[in-house]
Amino acid sequence: MPELLGYARVSTTAQDPAPQVDALTEAGCSKIFTDRASGARAARPQLSELLSVASAGDTLVVWRLDRLGRSLPHLIELVTELEERGVGFRSLTEAIDTSTPGGKLVFHLFGALADFERSLIRERTLAGLESARKRGRVGGRPVALTAAKRTAAQKLLGEGHSVAEVAEILGVGRSTLYRSMQRLSY
């Protein structure tokens, strides 16, 4: 028999999940799973347990959307996973119910907006990197062993100094010196 499974989450131990639990009980949830964890944390044991017991025909119910997902893309991922398993999703505050055509439409619009946002961020990032390259700025970590230091390293090593001594003199790690010398086929 299909069940309404409630999920409540508060961010800190000082917060009280009672208002969420009351709303979920009033909505008819037969079982309520409650986590006390920041929304940013991936580890939420009660949510994991709820997801493991939810079966086709059941509906996961939350008080508000932000109680379930860490971000909009994460929320969409979770609801998509539920949908693939035949589990419905309902948010009481936002009045979203993926078991109805209207609820599915609203949720897919959220998904489309999240995808659009990711695309915009990617475009802005790529444009910023291209602009920086045109101005002569190259991303990444600065080179620790410049051409002058490489030349000095070759000279010191040729004079019989150990790799450890040369690395200390030049202020770089031995592994940096080894990698640089390998590139030069030294």
Structure tokens at 50: 């709820």
> Measuring CA to CA, which residue among 64, 59, 66 is closest to residue 29?
59
Which stretch of DSSP H or E encloses residue 97?
Answer: strand 96-97
State the pLDDT at residue 15: 85
Question: Residue 63: is it exposed, middle or buried by C-beta count within 10 angstroms (0-12/13-18/19+)?
Answer: buried
**pLDDT tens per residue, the chain (186 residues)?**
889 999 999 987 778 999 999 999 999 999 999 998 776 666 889 999 999 999 999 999 999 888 887 777 888 888 889 999 999 999 998 888 988 888 888 888 877 887 788 888 889 999 988 898 899 887 778 888 888 998 999 899 999 999 999 999 999 999 988 888 887 654
Q: Known catalytic residues?
A: 11
State the pLDDT at residue 86: 92
State the pLDDT at residue 110: 78
Contact between 83 and 75 (Cβ < 8 Å): no
The architecture of the domain spanning 147-183 is Orthogonal Bundle (1.10)
What does 105-149 look like in DSSP terms, one character per residue?
HHHHHHHHHHHHHHHHHHHHHHHHHHHHHHTT---SPPPSS-HHH
CATH class of 4-111: alpha beta
Residue indicated by tokens 């475009």: 123
Which stretch of DSSP H or E encloses residue 8?
Answer: strand 4-10
State the pLDDT at residue 40: 65
Q: What is the dihedral of CA 105, 23, 42, 58, to 10 degrees?
A: -60
- 95 CB neighbour count, 10 Å cutoff: 10
Instruction: Name the residue ranges covered by the structural domains of the chain.
Output: 4-111, 147-183
Instruction: Look up the pTM and report it.
Output: 0.61
State the pLDDT at residue 186: 47
